[in-house]
Amino acid sequence: MSEKKNPVQWVRSLLFVGQIYFMMPIIGLAFAPWALFSKRGARACCKTYSRWVFWTARWMVGLKVEVRGTPPTEPGLVAAKHQSFLDIMMIFTAIPSGKFIMKKSILWTPVVGQYAKLLNCIAVDRGKRGAAIEKMVADVKVGQVEPGQLIIYSQGTRVAPGAQKPYKGGTGILYEQLGQTCFPVATNVGVFWPRTGIYRKPGVAVVEFLEPIEPGVDRNEFMALLEERVEARSNALMREAGFDVS
């Protein structure tokens, strides 16, 4: 049975979603003269837009955001649970120099694609994922990519609350070959901001940085540990938000 939606909240959600997409090119163009010549400017633009979304979500639809744990400040691999566009903004805003591994088609998205290029995000052809990861590892090792926090969604896509999807081996390859600390991230944002649709629920959306996994763990052991930590904590956060994980 589908959940009954409050008609007033639905209208508020529609207005909220409309204005965040309206503001995206405005903020993007406002920062363009700085962003075109400086990654600092590109990051400032993306964080400014994210904070605009957080602020308007709070008073338009009653949705607050909260970052828990200790976000990394040193270079490393951020392996996160992905449920909606909201966790992208929350993670990026919480760390100093984030760049994403993302599907190649996003590069063609207006504004988002242009800023992804300016931030040196890694575009992955899903049909050639292994080759793309090898190239990315090589680029990092020879210094062609600016150091920072590399963000990967280990399940490869947005996953709805309660749904199950396997963790992909690319995260393990990156962890092993880069030799950097991995920072797992759990979330419950999909309970309030779903991966599809317009309706937004009031509440507290949480992104939580978990205990880091230091370099040197066997790849298979690392993947098992990563999945265990992220899934267990994400389930706990979703229960905290009133979602029946079972």
Beta strand extents in the chain (DSSP E only): 63-68, 76-80, 98-103, 122-124, 149-153, 182-187, 203-209
pTM: 0.93
CATH number assigned to the domain comprising residue 193: 3.40.1130.10
Would you say 88 and 106 are in contact if contact means Cβ atoms under 8 Å apart? no
Is there a domain that residue 9 lies in? Answer: no
Is there a domain that residue 5 lies in? Answer: no
Length of the chain: 246
Tokens of 130: 């292994």
Beta strand extents in 111-244 (DSSP E only): 122-124, 149-153, 182-187, 203-209
Q: Tens digit of pLDDT per residue, the chain (246 long)? A: 456 789 999 999 999 999 999 999 999 999 999 999 999 999 999 999 999 999 999 999 999 999 999 999 999 999 999 999 999 999 999 999 999 988 888 888 889 999 999 998 888 876 666 676 676 667 666 655 677 899 999 998 999 999 999 999 889 988 998 899 999 999 999 999 999 999 999 999 999 999 999 999 999 999 999 999 999 999 999 999 999 987
Is there a domain that residue 13 lies in? Answer: no
Residue 191 has what DSSP assignment?
G
- Residue 18 exposure: Cα atoms within 13 Å on the Cβ side: 7
pLDDT of amino acid 5: 83
Number of domains in the chain: 1
Q: What per-residue string of b and e applies to 141-166 under the rule 16 or more CB within 10 Å gives b?
A: eeeebeebbbbbbbbbebbebeeeee
CB atoms within 10 A of CB 231: 17
pLDDT of amino acid 19: 98
Is there a domain that residue 42 lies in? Answer: no
Is there a domain that residue 20 lies in? Answer: no
In angstroms, the CA 71 to CA 73 distance is 7
Is there a domain that residue 21 lies in? Answer: no
- How far apart, in Å, are the Cα atoms of 33 and each of 23, 97, 170? 17, 20, 36
pLDDT of amino acid 126: 66
Q: Which domain holds residue 142?
A: 63-240
pLDDT of amino acid 129: 60
Is there a domain that residue 84 lies in? Answer: yes
pLDDT of amino acid 128: 63
Strand partners, 123: 102
Is there a domain that residue 29 lies in? Answer: no
